[in-house]
Chains A and B, each alone.
Chain A
């Protein structure tokens, strides 16, 4: 086995294992969030192995560094516990999780779905220059739409925060 393959299996196992640990440690919400960080960072390592360096960096910076810190912030401020969530909602979540698990199991039993072999990445694939050029030429409309959406979200959050509470 080559070194990248060993690393892939190692971090794939770590990603899956920490995802399970995240769900299992639901009684301790902070521990749960920390396991989520491990999952995010393991996924970033897998992106690096695929040659998608920019995506890996963004994965760590945005998901690992920013979003989970915000989760932690909220969790620590509100000191949430699992029994704070209503039972009805948990039943729905369990149903969704069971359906997803069943789907994954079926896929696994079908032999992984027969994925095509991985194509050889072209020169400069996954670099920031290539991604930037693609984003601002071919996909510029989507970028503008996303930025509009984000602006709307910020304005909405501001309106909610500044609303007079009676």
Chain B
């Protein structure tokens, strides 16, 4: 039992930190370059081999490791040292509850592709997210620099505000799926629903094949507003542009990590990029069906390869695992791309605009969303019973 959990944890950490996080630093450079009509990173090479700039993350690591590690005079040494660790740790452990594959039966052995599956899974993410504030605040305070302190203050106010709306924006999803467990949410989305479930007749005409007009039962179709609000809030939590007031180069130089150098600056940077992946994984799991292939449920995939093609159930299940993992990764890549697109399209907000967006727009609308969702659920359940 413990070995299985350990293998699953090591696997997902290796994929996220070892493969995806370095590659998206390259994606960020390359995508910004393409969007701004430049060529982008292409110089780092090993023996003349540049691999379209993919060696840049490696060069970054060597550069950061070889830099001098400066602790400013008058800084609180201990806090200055541990702040980057506290900033990076929540981003890394958040992936423990995000499922990257479904539940499969290999004979007696049941394989559930998620490292930990507590029945309060989404609350765990919120807990971790709320602790992420401390790394930033500590870094800002311990540096003994007023720009850093201002950055830390801005970050704490911003993160605490958006935590409130972040929680409220997914209450509608809790109500739709009636669970907080992320694996259960993904399983609930591994099916389709009739788009015209309420009628076969529209404007007096009977609709041909109305039973065939189906959509995958993804959260985004039930909670489109929730999707938008959650994406906005969680991007604000990550403090990347357009929500990067805590860094705000033009007024705060670099904000809370101004006094950091070398790999400890790199840790803040890495935390940000891992959070991008965590956000993509979370959005995928809650709103985009997780590992589920649209219009093809787990049973139908196993049936297709096992019985129709004739590969046997065991082999078909193994194939299904691979297909689901690939589907999950594809959706994560799309969500990462969306975040990068927003980061390079939108200019930075003003601080009061950002606070207004949180407290005056998203908060009332997400509360209204909860009421409407409850009303609709009552209506649908009342009609069926």
Contact = CB atoms under 8 A, between A and B. Distances in A.
B131 A53 contact: no
A41 B79 CA distance: 18
21 contacts: A30-B76, A30-B138, A34-B134, A34-B138, A37-B131, A53-B120, A57-B123, A60-B131, A61-B130, A65-B133, A65-B160, A65-B163, A69-B134, A69-B137, A69-B159, A72-B137, A73-B153, A73-B157, A76-B137, A76-B149, A127-B120
Given A60-B127, A77-B153, A127-B119, A69 B180 contact: no
A65 B159 CA distance: 10
B156 A69 contact: yes
Interface residues of B, number: 27
Interface in B128-186: 129-131, 133-134, 137-138, 140-141, 149, 152-153, 156-157, 159-160, 163, 180
Given A31-B79, A34-B138, A66-B163, A61 B153 contact: no
Interface in B66-91: 76, 79
Contacts of A77: 153
Contacts of B79: 30-31, 34
Of the four ranges (under 10, 10 to 19, 20 to 34, 35 or more), the interface on chain A belongs to 20 to 34
Contacts of B127: 44, 57, 60-61, 64-65
B131 A73 contact: no
Contacts of A70: 160
A135 B137 CA distance: 35
A31 B133 CA distance: 15
Nearest to B133: A69
B305 interface: no
B269 interface: no
A53 B119 contact: yes
B151 to A, nearest CB: 11
A27 B362 CA distance: 40
Contacts of A31: 76, 79
Contacts of B134: 34, 37, 69
A61 B123 contact: yes
B118 interface: yes
Given A57-B123, A70-B160, A76-B141, A65 B153 contact: no
A54 interface: yes
Contacts of A72: 137, 141, 156
A92 to B, nearest CB: 29
B124 interface: yes
A60 B130 contact: yes
B344 interface: no
Interface string A17-58: 000000000001011001001000100100000000110010
Interface of A: 28, 30-31, 34, 37, 41, 44, 53-54, 57, 60-61, 64-66, 69-70, 72-73, 76-77, 127-128
A76 B153 CA distance: 8
B145 to A, nearest CB: 13
B126 interface: yes
Given A65-B127, A73-B160, A76-B140, 17 more contacts: A28-B76, A30-B76, A30-B79, A30-B141, A34-B134, A37-B131, A37-B134, A53-B123, A61-B126, A61-B130, A65-B163, A69-B130, A72-B156, A73-B156, A76-B153, A127-B119, A128-B123
Contacts of A53: 118-120, 123
Contacts of A69: 130, 133-134, 137, 156, 159-160
The 9 closest A-B pairs by CB, nearest first: A65-B130, A57-B123, A60-B127, A53-B120, A61-B130, A69-B133, A69-B156, A69-B160, A73-B156
A37 B79 CA distance: 14
A125 B203 CA distance: 51
Contacts of B180: 128
A142 B140 CA distance: 41
B133 A57 contact: no
A76 B152 contact: yes
Contacts of B133: 65, 69
Contact of A66 (B120, B130, B138): B130
A57 B120 contact: yes
B138 to A, nearest CB: 7
B69 to A, nearest CB: 22
A57 B157 contact: no
Contacts of A44: 127
Nearest to A62: B130
Contacts of A127: 119-120
A68 to B, nearest CB: 8
Nearest to B180: A128
B82 to A, nearest CB: 10
Nearest to A28: B76
A31 B76 CA distance: 10
Nearest to A66: B160
A70 B156 CA distance: 8
A33 B130 CA distance: 15
A76 B134 CA distance: 13
